């Protein structure tokens, strides 16, 4: 558990970066700090591992005041991931990941063995371990950064805008990977971002900071979207917060319907779903036989927002539903999804 008790950070020029912060990050959860530039979210994060010390108040990790712990020793128990990964350019990927275990006194063989395990854990092939950071894509570098932060198996992981420098598609994949890892590893994670969509997607609780380093609201994502504490939070979350809140509504009331599928496009006068040999959707065959991209896919059992996205983005007006293996499971109709949404509101 991480606890901020009346924490203020005032810099030498008089700037107050964090003002009277009271907040508890529960063990084994992902807590996201979000807010505009200069609101104190990164300063708050860095006070946990003593990259910055508080001017007033107390920061505790597992009940111990961080100011009573030697900074190098404290940091060995806290993983840290930053934007652009921060890898050592002159070391191979494997040696980058092995850095913290070596500093902790592990043998080189044991550290490298641990590093190889972690590369697999974060979804990177073993052969990348021999490469240097410059030979990797941005998304691969960020995965290496996460692996390095996990190398000594720290209970706490701090992540400072780790995915902001990659493109949206890679970013979503990295978010999925983080959620998968958390389900397996159960770390206490503090994640900083300026992106409210990222915050509500990955956070179990979200702390919204306003300028002046003041905590405006601290709540689960669904509560934040439905009941913003004030006009600032409502404005920051956005006018489409009602749509975002659909990410927390299950789609159990939406009926999955059958639909005709084909293996090759052909003119038929109607829409037919094109699938491969394993029944994975490839697009829609239009009335004239032209293949059209199929829009987003909805994985069965997910939130109703995904079902609505699939239906609205489909050229046929039918949202494509897939199972957990990506195989075609049926379709959903937009009007039915909207009816279920309306019933939830009622």
Domains, the chain, in order of start with CATH, read 2-239 (3.40.50.300), 261-345 (3.10.580.10)
DSSP strand pairing (30-34 vs 16-25):
unpaired
Count Cβ neighbours within 10 Å for each residue of 255-278 and write b for 16 or more, e otherwise: ebeebeeeeebeeeeebbbbbeee
DSSP 213: T
Cα 150–Cα 172–Cα 146 angle in degrees, nearest 5: 10
pLDDT at residue 324, as a whole number: 87
Which SS3 state, helix, strand or coil, does residue 106 take? Answer: coil
Which SS3 state, helix, strand or coil, does residue 74 take? Answer: helix
**Joined tokens for residue 83:** 């934007």
Calpha distance 81→77 (Å, rounded)? 13
pLDDT at residue 267, as a whole number: 81
pLDDT at residue 293, as a whole number: 83
Closest residue by Cα to residue 318 from 265, 270, 248: 270
Q: What is the C-alpha radius of gyration for the chain, rounded to an integer number of angstroms?
A: 23
pLDDT at residue 269, as a whole number: 77
pLDDT at residue 215, as a whole number: 97
The 10s digit of each residue's pLDDT in 248-302 is 777 888 889 998 889 888 887 788 899 999 999 999 988 888 888 878 899 888 8
DSSP labels, 214-283:
EEEEEE-HHHHHHS-SSHHHHHHH-TTHHHHGGGGSB-TTSPPBP--EESS----SS-EEEE-TT--EEE
Residues of the chain with pLDDT under 70: 84-85, 239-245, 344-346
Q: How many residues does the chain have?
A: 346
């Amino acid at each position: 558990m991480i606890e901020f008790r009346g924490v203020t950070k005032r810099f030498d020029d008089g700037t107050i970066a964090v003002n009277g912060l009271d907040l508890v990050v529960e063990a084994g959860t992902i807590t996201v700090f979000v807010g505009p530039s200069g609101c104190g979210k990164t300063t708050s994060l860095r006070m946990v591992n003593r990259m910055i010390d508080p001017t007033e108040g107390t920061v505790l990790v597992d009940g111990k005041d961080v100011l009573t712990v030697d900074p190098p020793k404290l940091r060995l128990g806290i993983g840290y991931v930053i934007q652009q990964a921060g890898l050592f350019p002159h070391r191979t990927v494997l040696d980058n990941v092995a850095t913290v275990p070596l500093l902790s006194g592990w043998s080189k063989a044991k550290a490298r063995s641990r590093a190889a395990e972690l590369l697999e854990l974060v979804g990177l092939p073993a052969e990348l371990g021999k490469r240097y950071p410059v030979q990797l894509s941005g998304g691969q570098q960020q995965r290496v950064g996460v692996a390095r932060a996990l190398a000594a198996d720290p209970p706490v992981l701090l992540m400072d805008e780790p995915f902001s420098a990659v493109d949206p598609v890679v970013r979503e994949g990295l978010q999925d990977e983080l959620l998968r890892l958390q389900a397996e590893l159960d770390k206490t994670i503090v994640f900083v971002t300026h992106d409210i969509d990222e915050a509500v997607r990955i956070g179990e609780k979200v702390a919204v900071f306003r300028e002046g380093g003041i905590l405006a609201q601290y709540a689960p994502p669904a509560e934040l979207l439905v009941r913003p504490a004030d006009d600032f939070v409502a404005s920051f979350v956005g006018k489409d917060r009602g749509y975002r809140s659909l990410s927390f509504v299950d789609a159990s009331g939406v009926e999955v319907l059958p639909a005709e599928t084909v293996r090759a496009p052909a003119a038929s006068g109607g829409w037919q779903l094109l699938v491969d040999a394993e029944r994975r959707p490839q697009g829609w065959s239009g009335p004239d036989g032209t293949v059209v991209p199929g829009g987003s896919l909805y994985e069965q059992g997910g939130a109703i927002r995904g079902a609505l996205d699939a239906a609205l983005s489909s050229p046929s007006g039918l949202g494509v539903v897939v199972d957990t293996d990506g195989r075609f499971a049926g379709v959903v109709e937009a009007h039915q999804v909207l009816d279920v949404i309306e019933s939830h509101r009622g």
